[in-house]
Amino acid sequence: MTAAEPVILPGRGGLFGTLSDVLWRNPRLTLLLMLAPPLLWLGIIYLGSLFALLAQSFFSIDEFSGLIRYEWTLKTYAELLRPSNLDIIVRTVTMAAAVTLASAVVAFPIAYYAARYARGKWKAFFYLGAMLPLWSSYLVKIYAWKLILAKEGILTWIFAKLHLTPVLEAWLSIPVIGGNSLSVSYTGTFIVFVYVWLPYMILPTQAALERVPDSMLEASSDLGGSPAQTFRHVLLPLALPGIIAGSIFTFSLTLGDYIIPQIIGSSRLFIGQAVYAHQGTAGNIPLAAAFTVVPIVIMGLYLWMAKRQGAFDAL
């Protein structure tokens, strides 16, 4: 007979041994220690500065001295409603909505392929393909697009080679979305926005589609649903939370961006550019802050509506 092994092992002792035992006995303490640093960061540095910025929007600027008057007022918000400022808001929101819609339409087939057909190395290739654009500098990509879309650029050349120049010219002659060339038109801004934010739409849509079991689609087909009916009644509702998640990215990123419209597009401002101009040279921090409130309110409304439409029911 060998010596009996003890059933209960002695404590390991030392600082870490004791600490392990204490943390094991107090799971709440463990959670607190784990969450305190990020919560402090989020609470004080992130949310704190956001509220400091929002508070600025309730101050106003003295039009004669150009100094900020630290009194609570809604005067700055009234300024937002001036036609020139309202124009900026409408332009930005329209662009964000168009970009979101186009991203969803372009992303869906790619995400569908990746979720339902791609296996093994094709799946790896998909992730690489979807993420690769995110690895290179945003500015380089935008300047590359400026060259592609320029009047002397490759796109004009391709249209010429295909004898489709009249089509391009007809498009560019449409008021508002047209212009001298694609690179100075809203169409160009739109194309680049869709390109840059597309990965943010593809990945959540793919994740949502991945969670739809094959049997769900087979059941719809089995019950008489044609592919179009299955898409409309089963696939789309089940993918909607993913598409909404993606649209939150594309919509809010477009609302806030100030670099793309500055490099590609007409000289008319978007919200981001307005914020940049007001907080910089103009020194009108309250108006800049009021402008930043606009996307926050719009996103809040958007999420509220999405929730009411049942977009998150399938979560």
Piece of the chain touching another protein by CB under 8 A; list 39-47, 77-85, 215-223, 267-275? 215-223
Q: Do residues 188 and 149 lie in contact, with contact meaning Cβ atoms separated by under 8 Å? A: yes
Q: DSSP per residue over 107-118, as a string?
A: HHHHHHHHHHT-
Q: Residue 233, interface with another protein (CB under 8 A)?
A: yes
Among 225, 277, 299, 303, binds another protein (CB under 8 A): 225
Q: Residue 222, interface with another protein (CB under 8 A)?
A: yes
Exposure string (b/e) for 45-68, b if CB count within 10 Å is 16 or more?
eeeeeeeeeeebbbbbbeeeeeee
Q: Which amino acid is residue 213, in one-letter code?
A: P
* Residue whose tokens read 């700055």: 76
Alpha helices in the chain (DSSP H): 14-25, 27-40, 48-56, 75-80, 83-116, 121-135, 138-149, 154-161, 165-172, 186-210, 214-222, 227-230, 236-256, 260-263, 271-279, 285-308
Please state the closest distance from residue 219 (CB atom) to another protein, in A: 4
Piece of the chain touching another protein by CB under 8 A; list 158-166, 199-207, 229-237, 261-269? 229-237
Piece of the chain touching another protein by CB under 8 A; list 13-21, 144-152, 259-267, 307-315? 307-315
Among 216, 259, 277, 282, binds another protein (CB under 8 A): 216
Tokens matching residue 301: 């409304």
Please state the closest distance from residue 244 (CB atom) to another protein, in A: 13
Piece of the chain touching another protein by CB under 8 A; list 133-141, 231-239, 276-284, 287-295? 231-239
CA distance 204 to 239: 9
CA distance 121 to 251: 32
Q: Residue 38, interface with another protein (CB under 8 A)?
A: no
Among 234, 274, 294, 306, binds another protein (CB under 8 A): 234
Please state the closest distance from residue 21 (CB atom) to another protein, in A: 40
Query: Would you tell me which residues interact with another protein (CB under 8 A)?
Result: 213, 215-216, 218-226, 229, 233-234, 237-238, 310, 313-314
